[in-house]
A and B are shown apart, each in its own frame.
Chain A
Amino acid sequence: MRQASTLACLIFMSRFMNRFLLLALTLGILAGSGRAQSGTRAAATDGSSAAQRGIGLVDEGRCQEALPVLKKATPLTSDKQLKIKAGLAMVRCGLQSNQTEAAVNALLWLNREFPTDPDVLYVTTHAFSDLSTRAALQLATSAPLSTQARELNAESLESQGKWDEAAAQYNLILKQQPDVQGIHYRLGRIILSKPATPTTADEARSEFQAELRINPHNAGAEYVLGELSRQAQQWEDAIEHFSRAASLDASFADAFLGLGFALNSVSRYAEAIPPLQRGVKLQPENPTGHYQLAVAYNGVGRKEDAKLEVRLQKEAEEKIEQARQKASEVPQ
């Protein structure tokens, strides 16, 4: 078993190592492109020349010298593109020289200053992924048999769709620590992720129930139990679970919407209105909430309110459609 676990860890690590190499490459390309662009611009009187010098030092691999220069010069630079390139160079340097704090600070600064810049967002994605990889590697090497290492390993297997292997890891954790929170929840989630069989719902239900015996405050487990009951049209059960999920987590929009949905389904329209109102407040972009609220209003005779919700539902639907169309226009 230990061999299998180690193997999974290695697969896990190699996956992240590839990502790390990709990040290095990405940052290098962006830095190069920045250099080319900045070279065409007129020399600036502000911090530009210092920033360019800092970028040059990064290109030469002299991160220890580069970081203080960039840290000082970048905020003083007025050229937006140069600012971004300098920020990205700081991220690159921070990661290369294991100065995590410098890298993270640079990322946070870039996201604050240029929140929609594609280069910034792209590098942010890879940088945080890279940081996560480093932490995972650290965990795998420093405490390979810990519950946390197994859990991370299982999550990795889960993300690869290796359901049975992931379940085996989670079961190992339970063997080690039967009362650890969240593991039965994960096992239930795996059962629902696998191809459905006639026993899927029952098997998943028993895992979520086991989770709640360990942690009665797990709103997610209550929610999934509600959802399973809703799918089976066991409305009273669904109402109970959704109610508990909503009371455990006041920001759990899906729980409020599920509760309203279930109440509507048994024509308890008046009772459905408050949770649905809360649900649409938390998730105004979700057409389902507006639709179910319209059904509830209609059920109690509030026709005008119902019509308004139908209108909001259509608007939400149109926004989703616009986003879908925009996404489909992205060259493949």
Chain B
Amino acid sequence: MNGPEDQQLPNAFSRRAFLQALTGAAATYGIPRLAFPADEQGPFFSEIPPSISGITWAHVNGRSADMYLPETTGAGCGFLDYDNDGWMDIYLVNSGPCDFYTPPSRLRNALYHNNRDGTFTDVGEKAGVTGSGYGQGIAVGDYDGDGFPDIYLTQYGRSVLYHNNGDGTFTDVTERAGIAAPGWATSAVWFDYDNDGQLDLFVCRFVDFSKAKNKWCGNRLTNERSYCIPRVYEPMPCWLFHNNGNGTFTDVSKESGIAESLAKAWGVVACDINNDGWMDLFVASDTVPNFLFVNHKGKFEENGVLAGVGYSAYGRARSGMGVDAADYDQDGWTDLFVANVDQEMFSLYHNNKNETFSDAAVPTGIGSATKLMSGWGLKFFDYDNDGDFDLLLCNGHPDDKIDGRVDGVKYLEPMLLYRNTGKGMKNVSEQGGAIFSRPMAGRGMAIGDFDNDGAVDVLVAINNGTPVLLRNNAGRRNNWLGVKLVGKKSNPDAVGARLSYQAGDLKRSRMKVGGGSYLSAHDPRMVLGIGKREKADWLEVKWPLPSGTTQRFTGLPINRYITIVEGKEGWS
């Protein structure tokens, strides 16, 4: 970090301080973790500057006078432990050559290996995951169940499946797998739609676009060109690929019902909105209705409009971008969130328990706070480990010429942090740290505990800029238990598993959703916050179908990560 703002950070920590803070004691607990100087009163998040983290890579959007729409929409980022060493590595997506763009010098995606000391080293070239086109997003899943996470890279043009060889390298297996998804792919998610124990793949598709189809938008009077609102482009169907279990996939978009709905899709989250054990999909769409694909035993019925999540309350399509799902009020039913562009407000959809939702954005204050904002990456997570789902959002208007054109609307916008008080959502951005007052062109956002301290950290991908890595200071002020699930009969990543736990008077339940946010992939481990309570009494894991079994664990440790393998007693 180089700016004066960063130097003013009360808790900005130097490389020396960071290294001094290393401790070996934590290594006695399963996965090792870093220890940090105590900062009980500091901001909730601190930015780790590139000079400390070593993450000097930058996204290049290749902005041109022709204002090609993909220039303003990328890119994504992800946390994944590609080498299974117990430390979250980082993947960053860049632009690249395509029909409308020839980079003046080679652009590539980055895979930053976690050096376990707060620094990272780019091993993208060696790993063979540098991308092959105009990159958009990333989805991570162990599709072949070999224990190593694989990467699906979405691109404008043709997407790529990188199989993890287990030795620090990857192989492009797209052709064999049959999931190139030609066109403009955006977010993607791995999940098991037919409950056969294999991870399938859903890929969002944006509009029918190419260099030849690029349209002129702007002010004819002044001849000032601007990025088009996607309304002017034709929608396209999304893809659903069924995992055949042999390294190949079958395009089941039509027979599953997915292709019936024409989308301009950005974000997707896989979750179970009706608690029937079949994973549903919530897809954010831009200028057409959002989709709620309700899964009826492997066949999807699109029910977004009637469920109350397709349109605004006025029956108008908005510009849905980032999405997520979580049971934020702990009533046992999964709620949804979608971020839109300015003038539309974001929506917090509370589940009415009957496959319909009510927008709670206004009473929670989220509506007024986001009236002039445009949101992309977002995630429900318990940043302070008090046991409640909070909400973090990164923002930025898609049109870089918006400043001055619409009152109060800016191209660069700050992040927002909402704390779940148990009674509602409170905007605590002001206490979040300096980053929450810094406007930026946020796009993808991933969460992951890169320093294994149980405080879930954040990575924000910046359009045409250096990514922002945020260290969470708040989470370690409370106690926690981190859980990695390994499915055996159920899908390897246990997407769709439900964890319930009790710590004294605190009883919580949460589902492991698939995907969420925008173009990004998250730490697959779940951190269960228990506040100041000294122990977790019990933990139940309800494995997703086809298993459906429930395992109960007691005598659990706290403030460390454990791995639970489906069907095995105990943990490691």
Q: Which residues of A pack against B, CB within 8 Å?
A: 231-233, 261, 265, 267, 287-292, 294-295, 298-299, 306, 310, 313, 317, 321, 331-332
Q: Given A317-B317, A321-B231, A332-B221, are A294 and B305 neighbors across the interface (CB < 8 Å)?
A: yes
15 A–B contact pairs at CB < 8 A? A231-B362, A232-B362, A287-B314, A288-B314, A288-B315, A291-B311, A292-B313, A294-B305, A294-B306, A310-B305, A310-B306, A313-B305, A317-B315, A317-B316, A331-B220
Chain B residue numbers with a CB within 8 Å of A321 are: 231
**Known A-B contacts A233-B362, A291-B305; A332 and B220 likewise in contact (beta carbons under 8 Å):** yes
Is B362's CB under 8 angstroms from A287's CB?
no
Nearest Cβ on chain A to B261's Cβ, whole angstroms: 12
- Chain A residue numbers with a CB within 8 Å of B219 are 332
Instruction: Answer whether A287 and B305 are a contact pair too, CB < 8 Å, given A231-B362, A265-B358, A298-B356.
Output: no
Q: Find chain B residues with CB under 8 A from A288 CB.
A: 313-316
Closest chain A residue to B305 by CB distance? A310
Interface string of B130-172 (1 = CB under 8 A from A): 0000000000000000000000000000000000000000000
User: Of all chain A residues, which has the CB nearest B315?
Assistant: A291
**A298 engages B306 (CB within 8 Å):** yes
Q: Count chain A CB atoms within 10 A of each CB in B220, B306, B311, B363 and give the residue with the most.
A: B306
Q: Which residues of A contact B317 (CB under 8 A)?
A: 317
Query: Contacts A306-B306, A321-B231; is A292 near B315 (CB within 8 Å)?
Result: yes
Q: Are B220 and A295 in contact, with the CB atoms below 8 A?
A: no
B355 and chain A: residue at smallest CB distance: A298
Closest to B313 in A: A261
Contacts of A231 in B (CB 8 A): 362
Q: Chain B contacts of A289 at CB under 8 A?
A: 315
**B311: nearest residue on chain A (CB-CB)?**
A291
Contact at B308–A295, with CB atoms within 8 Å? yes
Question: Within the assembled complex, what's the spacing in Å between the Cα atoms of A313 and B311?
Answer: 11
A-facing residues in B303-325 (Cβ within 8 Å): 305-306, 308, 311, 313-317
> How many angstroms from the CA of A290 to the CA of B305 in the assembled complex?
11
Asked if B352 is at the interface (CB within 8 A of a chain A CB), the reply is yes
| A313→B310 CA distance, assembly (Å) | 12
Write out the residue numbers on chain A whose beta carbons fall within 8 Å of the beta carbon of B221: 332
Complexed CA–CA distance, A285 and B306 (Å) = 19
B338 vs chain A, min Cβ distance (A) = 17
Complex alpha-carbon distance, A193 and B245, angstroms: 61
Q: Which 9 A-B pairs have the closest CB atoms?
A: A291-B315, A332-B221, A298-B306, A287-B315, A288-B314, A288-B315, A233-B363, A313-B315, A332-B220
In the assembled complex, the CB of B286 is this many whole angstroms from the nearest CB of chain A, namely 14
Specify the chain B residue showing the minimal Cβ separation from A269.
B356
In the assembled complex, the CB of A124 is this many whole angstroms from the nearest CB of chain B, namely: 27
Query: Would you call B314 and A291 a contact (CB within 8 A)?
Result: yes
In the complex, which residues of chain B have a beta carbon less than 8 angstroms from the beta carbon of A310? 305-306
User: B311 contacts which chain A residues (CB < 8 A)?
Assistant: 291, 313
Residue of B nearest to A331 (CB): B220
A290-B231 contact in complex given A233-B363, A310-B306, C-beta closer than 8 Å: no
Cα(A265)–Cα(B308), bound, Å:
10
Please give, as numbers and ranges, the residues of chain A lying within 8 Å of B362 by CB-CB distance: 231-233
How many angstroms from the CA of A290 to the CA of B316 in the assembled complex?
11
Within the assembled complex, what's the spacing in Å between the Cα atoms of A261 and B215?
38
Q: 18 more A-B contacts (CB under 8 A) besides A287-B316, A313-B315?
A: A233-B362, A265-B358, A267-B352, A288-B314, A288-B316, A289-B315, A290-B315, A291-B314, A294-B306, A295-B306, A295-B308, A299-B356, A306-B306, A310-B306, A317-B316, A317-B317, A321-B231, A331-B220
